[in-house]
Chains A and B, each alone.
Chain A
Amino acid sequence: MKRKIGLIVNPVAGMGGSVGLKGTDGDMGRRSREMGARPVTPFRTADLLSALKCREEIEFFAAPGPMGADYVHDLGVDITEVGSIGAETTARDTIDIAGCMRGLGVDLIIFVGGDGTARNMCDAVGLDVPVVGVPSGVKVFSPVFSTSARAAASLVDAFVAGSDLIEQEVMDIDEDIFRQGRLAARLYGYMKVPRVAGMLQGEKRPSTSSASSEANKKEIAGAVLREMDEETLYLLGPGTTVKAVADEIGVPKTLLGVDAVYGRALEGRDINEKEILDLIARFPKRKIVVTMLGGNGFIFGRGNRQFTPEVIRQVGRENIIVVGEKDKVHKVNVLRVDTGDTGLDDQLCGFIRVWIGYNEDMIMKVVS
């Protein structure tokens, strides 16, 4: 018998990233569109569906139009549309449609979105219906999400094959506080997800600020400064370790945004994709400085979506400097990328040097 699998897509999730917003909760979805942001979720959903091996064994229950059905129609599989939506989708749509799917006895619901979408799903189905979360938001802090769209496909395949389920946390991040450069996270609830090792993202761990950690960051910053070329544009990504580099140079740093430095002077503050590409056009030599997210090890695709596939391709893998304080580096097994462009992700995979001290580094594997 075919398994009943639901699909709910939040079409505005992730749009704030490339334009430098820190989420699309509330009115930010409209604002990101006004700023020229492009939809992200269609690509995520397409990646997921194309990687799915068990399509023949699935009966799809999809939300209408851009919230699901639009992506499944092309697959030529059985599909039942659930619920109705207006011209502009809302969080309420996610909650209502997920509730309907539960009523229809759906076995598992795939949702595509960010932490806000996860919270809506948690409100609607809680622990009653297992889920697979496809990461597509600007903020994807909840461990309930898979590490990538392809990993999500593996989770769905595993579920259809009869895998165990585990409970994973849904986190609640206050976007207004996040935009001010601080991270306030609390546990919102739990949902059940298929258990497959390495496919779920660990919880992001907040940066430490002990004296030794601060000294370590300063050491790393010193090492970057030592190697700095005055004729290269440095695009400094988010995070406290990269902020230490800016402090060492003597320029201000947007904690959760991208800043640009040239000749040890600030060239751009909290810049979005378009502004980065403009700078790249002006400066022939450029490097990206990024750090990994504590806990899950993402260097691209979480919290720094201003570094779009276009930006990363233009800068080039060989010009990416990864820095990380020892305590954080030791706690992640591998580094991850999920840029939304699987071809680029494949190019970024392999071994990379991570600067962890003044004359210390760690060679780590990058996976997608």
Chain B
Amino acid sequence: MKAPVRLHMNEMPYAAPEGVVSAAREGLAHLHRYADGEEMQVLKELVAETSGTDARRVVLSPGSDILLRELVYLFSRGRNVMVPSPSFFSTIQAAKHTASRITSLRLFPPRFDLDPDMILELVREPSLVIIDNPNNPTGRPLLDRPMVESLLGNPDVLLVIDEAYHGFFPETFADMVQQHRNLAVTRTLDKIYSLAGARIGYMVAGDAFLEPFSLIPVLLPQASLYAAVEAMRNPEYVSVNVARIIQERDRMTEALRRLNAVVYPSSANFLLVETGQDDIAPRLRERGVLITDLSNQMAPGYVRVSIGSREENDIFLDAYEKINA
């Protein structure tokens, strides 16, 4: 049976370059050993350089979702935990028994934005605010500098910004962790570095977040570590692939609009699409295309479609058109 077209996980459709794959192979030769502390330090310094901070502020992790779970465990006690809705912070339920309250901030069409006055009103009590920027699945950037500055000006607020789609969207808040003790920014190498299978996430953070993490020793898998170091040392392929994805995203947007779908502007490698059909995801799956059905988070008919390679996108568009014929 033909492998399905995977447009449901926001992966990059392009493999990492041979140099990165060779480095991972080299790492496999050391499978009987734990990762080397010095090699971990090399990766931290590379991360610090791209984030505009110093290595002391970098925390590495096998996946940024694991970091987010740790953040919830460590910092939700007695706080109101706030997240946008829809979002994919599945670990937020971990706060159910620690947080004073979990508050979802509903994003709604057509803009799917956050109202700054509303959120500033809510953070009057001690809060752990976790916001993905841009948001998954709407693709919409939710924060700007004045809003972030206002939130960080409240010492009772701990702000975590998830920049999983950094690279597709230029704005970042990572450089602000030097000055703001209550800010942490999480990112991943899964997306733009084409390393989803390596599972490397990281956080750069202000002082309020660092101490508890210093007590949790993290060692990365050897092959992942080697691949990550090589990818960050030679990142030229990243900008080429990002440009290809953005070009395909524009093409997909136009094509879907021609097919009468409502497509929202995206700053990431996926599109939020209002199809008007409750069952589009299972019908596409029958035709060998996987997309994400959002009916458990949004009104019926909304789906998220990752941007694949040109060939994959064509297969999706063809199947979508046939279903709607």
By a beta-carbon cutoff of 8 Å, the part of chain A in contact with chain B is 197-198, 202, 327, 330-334, 351, 356-357, 359-365
Say how far A274's CB is from chain B's closest CB, in angstroms. 36
Known: A198-B109, A359-B102. 20 other contacts (CB 8 A): A197-B262, A330-B85, A330-B86, A330-B296, A330-B298, A331-B300, A351-B118, A356-B104, A357-B102, A359-B96, A360-B96, A360-B101, A360-B103, A360-B104, A361-B103, A361-B104, A362-B85, A363-B122, A365-B106, A365-B108
Q: What are 8 pairs between A and B in contact, CB < 8 Å? A: A330-B296, A331-B295, A334-B108, A359-B101, A361-B102, A361-B103, A363-B104, A363-B105
Residue in chain B with minimal CB distance to A360:
B102
Contacts of B85 in A (CB 8 A): 330, 362
Q: Mark B294-323, 1 if CB is under 8 A from A, else 0.
A: 011111100000000000000000000000
A365 to B86, CA, bound (A): 14
Most buried by B among A197, A330, A362: A330
A363 to B102, CA, bound (A): 11
**Chain A-chain B contacts (Cβ-Cβ < 8 Å), number:** 56
Number of interface residues of B (CB under 8 A): 24
Question: Do the beta carbons of A202 and B106 come within 8 Å of each other?
Answer: no
Say how far A190's CB is from chain B's closest CB, in angstroms. 15
| Across the A-B interface, the 10 shortest Cβ-Cβ residue pairs | A362-B104, A333-B108, A360-B102, A364-B106, A359-B101, A351-B118, A334-B108, A330-B297, A363-B105, A331-B299
A356 to B101, CA, bound (A): 11
Question: Do the beta carbons of A351 and B115 come within 8 Å of each other?
Answer: yes
Residue in chain B with minimal CB distance to A327:
B296
A327 to B115, CA, bound (A): 24
- Say if the beta carbon of B91 comes within 8 Å of chain A: no
- Say if the beta carbon of B100 comes within 8 Å of chain A: yes
A221 to B82, CA, bound (A): 22
Contacts of A334 in B (CB 8 A): 106, 108
- Say if the beta carbon of B71 comes within 8 Å of chain A: no
- Say if the beta carbon of B203 comes within 8 Å of chain A: no
Question: Do the beta carbons of B298 and A331 come within 8 Å of each other?
Answer: yes
Question: Do the beta carbons of B103 and A333 come within 8 Å of each other?
Answer: no
- Say if the beta carbon of B99 comes within 8 Å of chain A: yes
Question: Do the beta carbons of B101 and A361 come within 8 Å of each other?
Answer: yes
Say how far B116's CB is from chain A's closest CB, in angstroms. 12
Which residues, 69 to 120 on B, are CB-close (under 8 Å) to A? 85-86, 96, 99-106, 108-110, 115, 118
Most buried by B among A331, A357, A363: A363
Contacts of A359 in B (CB 8 A): 96, 99-102
Say how far B49's CB is from chain A's closest CB, in angstroms. 38
Question: Do the beta carbons of A362 and B103 come within 8 Å of each other?
Answer: yes
Say how far B121's CB is from chain A's closest CB, in angstroms. 8
Q: Determine chain B's interface SS by DSSP, over half rule.
A: loop
Contacts of A327 in B (CB 8 A): 296
With known contacts A330-B85, A334-B108, A365-B108, A202–B102 Cβ distance under 8 A: no
A243 to B105, CA, bound (A): 26
Say how far B19's CB is from chain A's closest CB, in angstroms. 44
A359 to B101, CA, bound (A): 5
Contacts of A365 in B (CB 8 A): 106, 108
A363 to B105, CA, bound (A): 5
Question: Do the beta carbons of B106 and A363 come within 8 Å of each other?
Answer: yes
Which residues, 6 to 53 on B, are CB-close (under 8 Å) to A? none
Contacts of A360 in B (CB 8 A): 96, 101-104
Contacts of A351 in B (CB 8 A): 115, 118
A28 to B95, CA, bound (A): 51
Contacts of B295 in A (CB 8 A): 331
Contacts of B100 in A (CB 8 A): 359
A333 to B108, CA, bound (A): 5
With known contacts A197-B262, A359-B96, A363-B122, A333–B109 Cβ distance under 8 A: yes
A91 to B177, CA, bound (A): 69
Most buried by A among B100, B295, B298, B299: B299
A365 to B106, CA, bound (A): 8
A341 to B7, CA, bound (A): 47
A361 to B125, CA, bound (A): 15
Contacts of B101 in A (CB 8 A): 359-361
Residue in chain B with minimal CB distance to A367:
B108
Contacts of B122 in A (CB 8 A): 363
A197 to B108, CA, bound (A): 13
Question: Do the beta carbons of A202 and B105 come within 8 Å of each other?
Answer: no
Say how far A192's CB is from chain B's closest CB, in angstroms. 16
Say how far A227's CB is from chain B's closest CB, in angstroms. 12
A272 to B86, CA, bound (A): 38
- Which of B106, B109, B262, B296 is close to A362, meaning CB atoms less than 8 Å apart? B106
Question: Do the beta carbons of A202 and B299 come within 8 Å of each other?
Answer: yes
Say how far A219's CB is from chain B's closest CB, in angstroms. 10
A136 to B196, CA, bound (A): 54
Contacts of B96 in A (CB 8 A): 357, 359-360
Contacts of A330 in B (CB 8 A): 85-86, 296-298
A356 to B295, CA, bound (A): 17
With known contacts A362-B104, A363-B105, A363-B106, A333–B298 Cβ distance under 8 A: yes
Say how far B260's CB is from chain A's closest CB, in angstroms. 10
A362 to B104, CA, bound (A): 4
Residue in chain B with minimal CB distance to A297:
B299
Say how far A292's CB is from chain B's closest CB, in angstroms. 12
